[in-house]
Amino acid sequence: MKSKHLIAITALTLASLTGCTSVLDKDDLTAVSEKATWSSEILATAFLDKCYKDNLPAFNGDYAKYSDEGNGGGDFIHGRLTAVATAGGPLEEYWPYDKIYTINVLLTSIDEGSLPEETRNRIKAQALFLRAYQYFEMVKIYGGVPLILAPQDRHSDDLYVTRNTAKECIDQIVTDLDAAAASLPSVWGENDFGRITKGAAMAFKGRVLLTYASKQFNPNNDRTRWQAAYNACAAAQKELSDNGQRALHPIYKEIWSKETTSETVLTTRFLDPVRTHNFMAGLRPLEFSVGAVGNHQPTLDMALAFPMADGTAPGVDVNGDGVKEAFEPTATDATGMFWLNRDPRFYDIIVYNGAEYPLNGMPEWFQGCMYTYKGGEDTHSPTGTGFYSCKFSIPEKTATEAKDHGDMDWIEMRYAEVLLNLAECAAEVGNKSDEVYTILKDIRKRAGITANADGLYGLKANMSQQELIDAVLYERRIELAYENKRFWDLLRRKTFTDMQGYSRYRIEIQVKSEYASMARRDFITMIKNDPELMTKNYFKYFTTQRWKIDETYQWDVKDNYYFQGLARKHFEQNPKLQQTIGWESGDFDPLK
C-alpha cells in the first residue's frame, strides 16, 4: 500500500489555511489563525502540501501534439497565431501569479511562527523550489517577466510592476534553487517520498541553465553559459548518485508502473481516491477506455525514429549488400515491416497493428493483441495516426480503473534526463567525448540494446563534437518520448526553424479485398492462427497507405513564437507592462 501524504490533505486542514480574524480582533473560532498555522508543523506542512498540489505539473497530452511525436498542433505549428490570441496548446496564456502569491505568503510569514529553525528552513526550501519552478515555466514562454518576491498589498503596494529581464529572472531562479538545495535533505524517509530533495533542486537548476545556454536564449552561443550549465548538471548528477541514491532503474517500462524507483527525481503524486487522473484511459482505444480517448497517438515519424535492436540507424538490409534501406511502411517486403527487430523501447512505447497489448477487458478472441487497421477497432473514434502508445499504461487495469481510479504518479524529472542534460552540456563544452559516450552507452544498455562487438551499443565511433550533440538530442527524443520534453527541446534549440515546410505522417491500414467482407471477430481469429502473421505473411492480409497529417498547412513556426506575447488583458490591468518584440508593436526584448 502506498503512502502519499503530500496529496492526502483533509478538508478541515485546507479550510484552515486562510488565517481569518473577526472584525473585533478576536480569534475566529471557525478557522485556524494565521499565527497558529505557522506555529504548528502539521498546519504549516499542510499549507506547503497544498502548494505542491497547485504548482507541480501533472499528466498532459497536449505537448506531444505540438511536436513531431503526435497529431495536432493547430495554429502554433502552422504559423496562424493572431495578435489577439497569442495562445494555443502548450503555450496557452500562462500567468500563475496567484500561485506565486500563496508561496510568497508562506515564505514571508513562516518566520513569524514558533517552529524550530530546521523545520522552518526545510519548509521554506520546498516553497523556494516551487516558486523557482513557476518562474521558469513563465520565463521559457515569455522571456523576462515581473519578479514578485513578496505578497503584494493592494492598499499599500504599487501593483503596476514592470517586466524584469530574462537574466534577472534566471538569476533569481538560480538563487532560489541554491537556497533550497542548501536546506533540503538528500533523501527523505519512506513516508515522505515525493518531496523535493537536495538533488532535485540541483538537477532542476541544471535544466534551467541548460535552457538558458540553448539557442532560444543564447543565439550568440556564449560558451560560458554552457560551462555553467555543465557544472550544475555534473554537481546534480554526483549528488543524486552518491547521496540521493538515484540510478537508472533496470527495467525501462517499470519506471512509471512501479512506484518509488531509483529513477525518480521530481514527481507529482496521485492516490486513489484522494487525487486521480484518467490519462491512462485516454491512451486506450475507445472501446476499452469508458469514453476517455485521444492521448498520445504516435506519428509514423516517431515510430520510424527508433533505432534497431543493435542501436544502429533504423532500416533493413534487403539485398544483403551491407547497406540498409530505409523503412517504407507501404512496401510489401522487409522494408515494410518496421516493427521487427527494433530498440526494445519501441515495444514499450508504440502500439502498432497486431502488437501484443493485452488490455484488461479485451474479448478473448483478440488473444491479447491490438489491431489498428480500418475496421479493426471501434469505428466511432479510431486512432488518427495508425498507432497508440502504451507508455504510462497499465494493461492489467480495467477500463473503469484506468478512467476513474488512475493514480500513476507523474515523473517530471527522472535520472535519465539528468544524465542526458549532463551529456548535452558536456558535448557542447567540448573535449568530454568519453563522458558523453559513457552516458549514452549506459542509457542504451538499460534499454536492452545489444552492446555489439565494439561495445558501443550502435553508436558511431570517434564522433565529432556536432555528431555528439546530435547523438544526445536523438537519444533524448527516444528515451524521453511522450514525457513532455520533446516540444521544449525543439523550442529551446530553435529546431522549429529548421523544420519549415515539414509535415508529419500517419498510416492507414486496410484489409485486403478478399477478406474485407469477413466479420472482425472471424478475421482476427483467422489471422491469429497464422504463426507468420507479423512477418512474411503480414502483407497477405493487409495493405498500408501513408498520408500527411499536415496536408493543408505545413509547419511554419514563426520566429516570434519562440517568445510569446502577453495577453491583452494584462495591459488593461497593468499599463506598465511591455509587450514582447514581434507582438502587437512590442518593444520588450525577451533576451535581455
Residue 35 inside a domain? The answer is: no
Residue 317 inside a domain? The answer is: yes
CB-facing half-sphere around the CA of 192: CA atoms within 13 A: 14
Q: Is the pLDDT of residue 280 over 60?
A: yes
Q: For residue 572, name the pLDDT band (cuts at 50, 70, 90).
A: confident
- Average pLDDT of span 221-233: 98
Domain that holds residue 360: 279-406+505-548
Residue 332 inside a domain? The answer is: yes
Residue 492 inside a domain? The answer is: no
The whole-angstrom separation of Cα 524 and Cα 31 is 63
* Phi, psi values for residue 43, rounded to 5°: -70, -40
The whole-angstrom separation of Cα 360 and Cα 358 is 6
Identify the sign of the CA torsion 164, 168, 173, 176.
negative
Residue 147 inside a domain? The answer is: no
Closest CA to 588 of 130, 162, 103, 113: 162
Least confident of 20-24, 187-191, 563-567: 20-24
Torsion region of 431: left, alpha or beta (phi above 0 gives left; psi -120 to 50 gives alpha) = left
Question: CB burial class (10 A; 0-12, 13-18, 19+) of residue 98?
Answer: exposed
| CB crowding 241-274: b at 16 or more within 10 Å, else e | beebebebbeebbebbbebebbbbbbbbbbbeee
Query: Residue 402 carries which side chain, given as an amino acid letter?
Result: A
- Average pLDDT of span 107-116: 96
Q: Residue holding cell 565529432?
A: 464
* Phi, psi values for residue 186, rounded to 5°: -70, -35
Q: What is the pLDDT of residues 116-167, one digit of tens each?
A: 999 999 999 999 999 999 999 999 999 999 999 999 887 777 889 999 999 9
Question: Residue 425: what pLDDT?
Answer: 98
The whole-angstrom separation of Cα 19 and Cα 144 is 33
Q: Is the pLDDT of residue 85 over 70?
A: no
The whole-angstrom separation of Cα 539 and Cα 511 is 9
- ∠ CA 489-587-176, rounded to 5°: 50
Question: Residue 203: what pLDDT?
Answer: 98
Number of domains present in the structure of the chain? 1
The whole-angstrom separation of Cα 399 and Cα 300 is 26
Regarding predicted confidence, which is higher, 563 or 7? 563
Residue 215 inside a domain? The answer is: no
Closest CA to 114 of 63, 164, 40: 40
Question: Residue 178: what pLDDT?
Answer: 98
Q: List the beta strands (DSSP E) in 217-339.
A: 264-268
Q: Three-state secondary structure along 260-287?
A: CCCCEEEEECCECCCECECHHHHCCCHH
The whole-angstrom separation of Cα 293 and Cα 394 is 15
DSSP characters over 114-167 = ---HHHHHHHHHHHHHHHHHHHHHHHHHHSS-----SPPPTTTS-----PPPHH
Please indicate, yes or no, whether the overall pTM of this predicted structure exceeds 0.75: yes
Q: Is the pLDDT of residue 322 over 50?
A: yes
The whole-angstrom separation of Cα 526 and Cα 507 is 23
Q: Three-state secondary structure along 13-74?
A: HHHHHHCCECCCCCECCCCCCHHHHCCCHHHHHHHHHHHHHHHCCCCCCHHHHCCCCCCCCH
Q: For residue 491, name the pLDDT band (cuts at 50, 70, 90).
A: very high
Question: Residue 72: what pLDDT?
Answer: 85
Q: Is the pLDDT of residue 14 over 90?
A: no
Cell representation of residue 31: 478557522
Residue 530 inside a domain? The answer is: yes
No. of H helices and E strands in the chain?
22, 6
Q: Are 521 and 365 in contact (CB under 8 A)?
A: yes
Q: What is the pLDDT of residues 441-481, one digit of tens each?
A: 999 999 999 999 999 999 999 999 999 999 999 999 999 99
Q: What is the pLDDT of residues 520-559, one digit of tens each?
A: 999 999 999 999 999 999 999 999 999 999 999 999 999 9
Residue 206 inside a domain? The answer is: no
- In 3-state terms the chain splits into helix, strand, coil percentages (rounded to 5) of 45, 5, 50
The whole-angstrom separation of Cα 372 and Cα 455 is 37
Q: Are 209 and 225 in contact (CB under 8 A)?
A: yes
